[in-house]
Amino acid sequence: MLKMTINSKVAKTLASCAVAAAITAPVAAEHDAPAYERWAGGFIEYYSADNDKPEPNGYFDEGYGFGGEIGWRFDPHWAARVELAFLEIDADPNRPFGMDEDGHSYGIDAVYFLDNDAAYVFGGLRQQSLDITYRMAAAGIGKHWDFNDRVKIITEAQAFHDFGEGFNDYAVKLGFAYTFGETPKPVSRDKDSDGDGVMDSRDQCPNTPRGTAVDANGCNNDLDGDGVLNSQDQCPNTPPGTAVDVRGCALAKDSDNDGVPDDIDQCPDSLPGDRVDETGCVIFEEKDLSVSLNVLFANNSAEVTNPDDAQIREFAEFLQRFVNTSAVIEGHTSAVGRAEYNLALSERRAQAVKDLLVNSYGIDEGRLTAVGFGETQLLDSSNTAEAHRINRRIEAQVSATVKEKVTE
């Protein structure tokens, strides 16, 4: 019979290193998170024993078993598990003096999950008690198939190598596991909320009335309704009902070229570029000006790494220009790690930005408030590195109202 030639010392060393690597995998605040944190499962297995086992004559054949396992995941790839199984191995009917044996085995494995949990490979140690005790290295491949959000179907194939006599056994496993911890949220699909034929992800005018002709950006392509597309309309504010030429300008005389014929223009001297109403007079409106601040932070850090960033300067200049404004600086973290620690970390981040604006840009401290929200206001709740990156942030906004002349 063909036997494996793996050196038992090498096998023992490889298995020990695999277990140590899994157990010592780092777990840090705001680190990438696995699809689920723990699992507990039960299984049945088919077991094929080495026909030379036990010594000296060998009479084991095949058998079946059942058992349970508990696993812990440290990051998206590494995990560890412990297993207990009960076995019933039949004797080879072609060999004399053999007898069936009942027993059990227990062991520990280091488990490595491939990307997107496509499958996993594992290696570890087993102690098996049948007629005598066998100490073995174990290695194999398996997969957790989704049954629903929490329940997985376990499929697995594995091989065992005995350190003492060099026996080689094999087994296949089928079972169910229940998972614990956070699970990734489903990715939302793009849609067309206003029904204009342009998907929301690229619709720059998301509330266009139904039936309105739109351009590639989802915006009305003829704002003044004169039949000339915006891209060709040289008089884009022609009053409704005005006859226009191919340029979109009124056919009647329009001395100031504002789209309102002279005979109804009550403000005949409007300047080029001024937006006018139906009487030809310049439109003024109160305009809300605002500027936002969004600063991202490194993992587990409250240090502003680029204090001269253009976005920070713009925010500070707005505060300097509009001296009656104030701002709340909000600190946030990702959801990985303890909530109490993340709350304190978010407060330190908010305070760091406030101190920067006060000390480096001369903003009055009384106009700024620093507040930490921890992990309570995630931008992206999925368990990915990109989600954790954008959640480690500072957000702030300040607004002011001014009266401005409306221009084209």
Per-residue pLDDT of the chain (408 residues; tens, 9 = 90+): 333 333 344 334 434 443 443 344 443 334 467 889 999 999 999 999 988 888 777 788 899 999 999 999 999 999 999 999 999 998 888 777 677 889 999 999 999 999 999 999 999 999 999 888 999 999 999 999 999 989 999 999 999 999 988 999 999 999 999 999 876 555 556 787 777 778 877 877 887 787 777 777 777 667 677 777 776 777 878 787 777 777 777 666 777 877 788 878 888 887 877 888 888 887 777 766 778 888 898 898 888 988 988 989 998 898 888 888 888 999 999 988 899 999 999 899 989 999 999 999 999 999 999 999 999 989 898 989 898 899 889 988 887 776 667 676
Angle at 368 between CA 366 and CA 373, to 5 degrees: 135
Q: What is the pLDDT of residue 180?
A: 94
Architecture of domain 8-180: Beta Barrel (2.40)
Q: Which runs of E-coded beta strand occur in 74-118?
A: 78-91, 101-113
Concatenated DSSP letters of 182-199: --PPPPPPP--TT-SSS-
Q: How far is CA 140 from CA 2, 70, 101, 112, 169, in A?
A: 19, 17, 24, 11, 12
Beta strands across the sheet bearing 368-372 = 284-296, 393-405, 327-332, 368-372
Report the distance separating Cα 371 and Cα 343, nearest Å: 10
Q: Which residues contact 156 (CB under 8 A, 6 or more apart)?
A: 43, 140, 141, 142, 143, 172, 173, 174
Query: Taking the CB of residue 384, how many other CB atoms lie within 10 A of it?
Result: 13
Q: Which residues contact 64 (CB under 8 A, 6 or more apart)?
A: 44, 45, 46, 47, 87, 88
Report the distance separating Cα 71 and Cα 143, nearest Å: 14
Computed from CA positions of residues 339, 344, 345, 347, in that sequence, does the dihedral angle turn out positive or negative? positive
Nearest to 81 by CA among 192, 175, 196: 175
Three-state secondary-structure class, residue 318 = helix
Displacement of CA 139 from its chain's centroid (Å): 32
Report the distance separating Cα 35 and Cα 15, nearest Å: 25
Report the distance separating Cα 75 and Cα 351, nearest Å: 31
Q: What is the pLDDT of residue 14?
A: 38
Q: How far apart are the first and last CA of the chain?
A: 88
Amino acid at 404: E
| Helix (H), strand (E) at residue 219 | none
Query: Taking the CB of residue 106, how many other CB atoms lie within 10 A of it?
Result: 14
Locus of tokens 């490979």? 121
Q: What is the pLDDT of residue 188?
A: 56
Contact indicator for 256, 264 with CB cutoff of 8 Å: no
| Residue-range domain boundaries for the chain | 8-180, 240-282, 287-405
Q: What is the pLDDT of residue 220?
A: 66
Contact indicator for 260, 269 with CB cutoff of 8 Å: no
- Angle between helix 339-361 and helix 310-321 axes, rounded to 10 deg: 60
Report the distance separating Cα 333 and Cα 301, nearest Å: 10
Q: At 12, give phi and psi (nearest 5°).
A: -65, -40
Q: What is the pLDDT of residue 154?
A: 97
3.30.1330.60, 3.40.120.10, 3.30.70.141, 3.90.228.20: which CATH number matches 287-405?
3.30.1330.60
Q: Enter the tokens of residue 397.
A: 């906004």
Q: What is the pLDDT of residue 185?
A: 56
Q: Enter the tokens of residue 260.
A: 């309102």
Rg (CA), the chain: 36
Burial class of residue 269 in the structure, from the number of CB atoms within 10 Å of its CB (0-12 exposed, 13-18 middle, 19+ buried): exposed
Query: Taking the CB of residue 276, how many other CB atoms lie within 10 A of it?
Result: 20
